[in-house]
Amino acid sequence: TEEKLRTTEKLAVIGELAAGIAHEIRNPLTSLQGFVQLFQSESKTDNPLHRIMLDELERINLIASELLVLSRPQEIAFTETNVQTALHDIVRLLNTEASLYGAKITLDAKEELFINGDKNQLKQLFINIIKNATEAGASSITVSLTKKFDLLWIEVKDDGCGMDQARIDKLGEPFFSRKEKGTGLGLTVSHKIIAAHEGTIQYKSKVGQGTTVIISFPAI
């Protein structure tokens, strides 16, 4: 469709520009962060401006790294990847932060299941999807892993704010975000990772009730 074409075009342009820009931004950013940290440690009273500056610098850092993932030529290291372990690591990592917001992430993955994939990219994908669930204001998030026929299925179900169809149709479009601090690149990166692994992604959502993201990969 025209919408799809537009997305592909945008991605191509981003691909060309982003790597260069992200790279150029990194060095001055790192030195700025260093200076602010120095000011912070030198000042006797806690200055909220330092914290705000560090937060904002960290945000630029996040955008730059997402652009790098998007634009980096596919240097994927495919190996036999244990999806149960990957999910376990990510859920444990994200539960610490989620608990601060009163949310709980539960993992239902009893079987050790494998795909041919890039461990780091897959972890990045799971982080992006689960983070969106916590940011949607969910109090309960369930991540499940199952195998059906020759496919592994990963479901991330949340009871957050949900989305209408118009919003679902825009998911993955670069810079589409409804968050004050969103980059709108998380799902663009995620869709790219899934495509590189010959997987699929589906969204089921109801406004006010929650969202279920369903991802599949060829099993090995």
Binding interface with Mg ion (CB under 5 A): 132, 186
The entry of ligand ADP, Mg ion, none near residue 184 (CB within 5 to 8 angstroms by kind) is ligand ADP
Q: How far is the CB of 6 from Mg ion (least distance, A)?
A: 21
Which among 17-25, 33-41, 131-139, 143-151 is the span making contact with ligand ADP, rule CB under 6 A?
131-139
Candidates 14, 22, 53, 133; binder of ligand ADP (CB under 6 A) is: 133
Position of minimal CB gap to Mg ion: 186
Are the C-beta atoms of residues 141 and 132 closer than 8 Å to each other? no
How far is it, in rounded angstroms, from Cα 33 to Cα 41? 12
Angle (CA) 112-99-203 rounded to 5° is: 60
Q: Which is nearer to Mg ion, 36 or 154 (CB)?
A: 154
Candidates 40, 57, 123, 176; binder of ligand ADP (CB under 6 A) is: 176
Tokens in use for 52? 């705000």
Q: Which residues, listed in sequence order, are joined to residue 215 by a DSSP beta bridge? A: 154, 201
Region label for 175, one of left (φ > 0), alpha (ψ between -120 and 50) or beta (otherwise)? left
Q: How far is the CB of 129 from Mg ion (least distance, A)?
A: 8
Counting Cα atoms < 13 Å in the Cβ hemisphere of 113 gives 23
Interface with ligand ADP, residue 216, by CB under 6 A: no
Interface with ligand ADP, residue 171, by CB under 6 A: yes
Q: How far is the CB of 163 from ligand ADP (least distance, A)?
A: 5
Are the C-beta atoms of residues 156 and 130 closer than 8 Å to each other? yes
Which among 2-10, 70-78, 100-108, 181-189 is the span making contact with ligand ADP, rule CB under 6 A?
181-189
Q: How far, in Å, are 15, 114, 118, 174, 196 from residue 74 at the CA level?
A: 12, 21, 11, 18, 8
DSSP β-ladder status, 140-148 and 104-108: parallel
Q: Which is nearer to ligand ADP, 108 or 111 (CB)?
A: 108
Written as one letter, the residue type at 213 is V
Q: Which residues sit at the interface with ligand ADP, rule CB under 6 A?
A: 128, 132-133, 136, 158, 160-163, 171, 176-179, 182-184, 186-187, 211
